[in-house]
Amino acid sequence: MAKVKVRPFDSLIIVDMQNDFMPGGALPVPKGDEIVNVINEYISIFSKSNAFIVATRDWHPPNHVSFNTVGGPWPPHCIQGTWGAEFHPSLALPANALIVSKATRPDKEAYSGFEDTDLNMALRRRGVKRLFICGVATDYCVKATALDGIRLGFQVFLLIDAVKGVNIPPGSEERAVDEMLDEGAVIVSINELSI
Residues designated as active site: 16, 102, 141
Q: How far is CA 127 from CA 30, 32, 52, in A?
A: 35, 31, 10
- Which residues are CB-contacts of 88 (< 8 A; sequence separation ≥ 6)? 17, 18, 19, 22, 33, 36
Torsion from C-alpha of 150, 152, 153, 156, nearest 10 degrees = -30
How many of the other CB atoms lie within 10 Å of CB of 147? 21
